[in-house]
Amino acid sequence: MQEPQINPWSSTPSLDIGKTFAEFGIDPIAPVMAELPEIPYFMRRGIVVGHRDYRPIAQAIRNRTPFHILTGFMPSGHPHLGHLMVMKEVVWHVQQGGNGYITIADREAHAVRGLSWEKCNEYGKEYLACLYALGFEGETFFQSKNNRLKDLAFEAATKVNFSELTAIYGFGPDTDLAHADAVITQVADILYPQIDREPAPTVVPVGVDQDPHIRLTRGIAHKMRMFTVEERDGYISVRSKNAPDAAMEAVKKAFPHAKKYEGHVDIKGVQCADVKGKVREIERAHGGFAFFTPSSTYHIFMPGLTGGKMSSSIPESIISFYESEAVVRKKVMSGITGGRMTLEEQKRLGGEPDKCSLYLLNLFHMVTDDAELAEIRRKCTAGEITCGQCKKETAERVVAFLHDFREKMNAAADRIKV
Ligand code: TRP
Ligand code: SF4
């Protein structure tokens, strides 16, 4: 049987989130988010719904220990409101103490979408302007300009073969090499903060369409380790994957009750976390990467105004940052709502906000106050407001938001580095 696949380059990502999650082993965020000192609105409102291994991030935030936050954008068109969520997730994590990293995936845009380098450059800068407008602080880079990244990608490439790429992405004999290169570059993107700064938990906020890259990277991060540390019955076993003998010896020397065997060192009377930390130090001292396996979060997609996906290939579905007020108003006013066929029905049955692209626009970005959002929802479901009126109010919010946002984007212009 063929493995189930998610295609990161498809324009119709799987919409059945619950099923996709269960099938691929993504966990619901709710139990872990409770461990955060402050729950961000995108988790509270059910926008970020899933994760892999987010617990070490929640812990790092609570304990104020180092962690990294990284995501990437493929500059294949102008940024639009659909990109804002993941940007806000990054900014929030930086505010919680994370080291922020943004990668502009120009290699991917060039290899997979055939974009010219000039266009990649132009769009890439727009993405960065949006991030700065939202208050981003941290490192940014374009893939094609980062040599350490490319070296790391090459190193990571020693751990992947084509049958894996076929199983994960459905690559075949006619897939061009640059496409595979874009994949391994993304793997390197995700591991990059750990070579640029220090090995530490890293969280990558993405849409579920990017999960194949996350799974691949998690596997490679593990393969690039010298050691694994395993909790056994009454002792901790440090297993060598490809550690030089000097590193094994150093592990033995680091702990008084350690015994060295062929391929492993067993240690009694110690905490697993302490061994893991020490072993990482030893691994680094012997030229290893000592990577933490990266974590991820998954958000639902904001629907486009025309109902389906927000996609630059359907101009009516998106609102981009430089549209005129008249066009913005027109797009919002013709957006798909959860309203009923007739006014009489609307009053009697109320609207269906969860099916309404405008309600979701408010939920994602336009209404930051929870009480105000709840009131919109109440009025809608009680049939107390017409969609016409509600759309007008939403259009005004969007216009005001964009006006302010554009000013911030312009003010950020001189911070952008290519
Ligand atoms: N592949 C991502 C996209 O299509 C862009 C991307 C590149 C990325 N590198 C990344 C996303 C690293 C997250 C982490 O949008
Ligand atoms: Fe959407 Fe507003 Fe109509 Fe409700 S009243 S369906 S939220 S446009």
| Average pLDDT by stretches of 10, the chain with 418 residues | 63 60 89 96 95 98 98 96 97 98 98 97 98 98 98 98 95 95 98 98 96 97 97 96 95 96 96 96 97 97 90 91 94 96 94 95 96 97 96 98 97 90
C-alpha 20 – ligand 1 centre gap (Å): 19
Q: What is d(CA 311, CA 308) in angstroms, rounded to the nearest whole number? A: 9
Closest ligand by atom to 346 CA: 2
C-alpha 254 – ligand 1 centre gap (Å): 39
Q: Does the beta carbon of 217 sit less than 6 angstroms from any atom of ligand 1?
A: no
Q: Does the beta carbon of 210 sit less than 6 angstroms from any atom of ligand 1?
A: yes
Q: Which residues contact 342 (CB under 8 A, 6 or more apart)?
A: none
Q: What is d(CA 139, CA 122) in angstroms, rounded to the nearest whole number? A: 19
C-alpha 319 – ligand 2 centre gap (Å): 18
Contact 226, 243 (CB under 8 A): yes
Lining residues, ligand 2, CB within 6 Å: 337-339, 351, 353, 356, 358-359, 380, 385, 387, 390-391
**Mutation test residue for ligand 2: of 340, 341, 356, 394, the one with most atoms within 8 Å of CB:** 356
Residue 358, burial from CB neighbour count under 10 angstroms (0-12, 13-18, 19+): buried
Residue 220 has what pLDDT? Answer: 98
Q: What is d(CA 103, CA 70) in angstroms, rounded to the nearest whole number? A: 8
Closest ligand by atom to 153 CA: 1
Single-letter amino acid, residue 250: A
Closest ligand by atom to 303 CA: 2
pTM (predicted TM-score): 0.94
Closest ligand by atom to 363 CA: 2
Q: Does the beta carbon of 74 sit less than 6 angstroms from any atom of ligand 1?
A: yes
Q: Does the beta carbon of 105 sit less than 6 angstroms from any atom of ligand 1?
A: yes
> Whose C-alpha lies nearest to ligand 1, atom 3?
74
Residue 1 has what pLDDT? Answer: 41
Q: Does the beta carbon of 211 sit less than 6 angstroms from any atom of ligand 1?
A: no
C-alpha 106 – ligand 1 centre gap (Å): 10
Q: Does the beta carbon of 108 sit less than 6 angstroms from any atom of ligand 1?
A: yes
Closest ligand by atom to 351 CA: 2
C-alpha 71 – ligand 1 centre gap (Å): 6
Closest ligand by atom to 360 CA: 2
Region of residue 135 (left: phi > 0; alpha: psi -120 to 50; beta: else): left
**Mutation test residue for ligand 1: of 11, 206, 296, the one with most atoms within 8 Å of CB:** 206
Q: What is d(CA 132, CA 120) in angstroms, rounded to the nearest whole number? A: 18
Q: Does the beta carbon of 185 sit less than 6 angstroms from any atom of ligand 1?
A: no
C-alpha 189 – ligand 1 centre gap (Å): 8
Tokens 């070296």, residue located = 151
> Whose C-alpha lies nearest to ligand 2, atom 8?
387
Q: Please list the residues that pair with 297 across neighbouring strands.
A: 51, 205
Residue 11 has what pLDDT? Answer: 58
Q: Which of 376, 370, 345 is nearest to 358 (CA)?
A: 376
Query: How many CA atoms lie less than 13 Å away from 56 in the CB half-sphere?
Result: 18
Q: What is d(CA 89, CA 42) in angstroms, rounded to the nearest whole number? A: 8
Cα 40 to the center of its chain, rounded Å: 15
Residue 249 has what pLDDT? Answer: 97
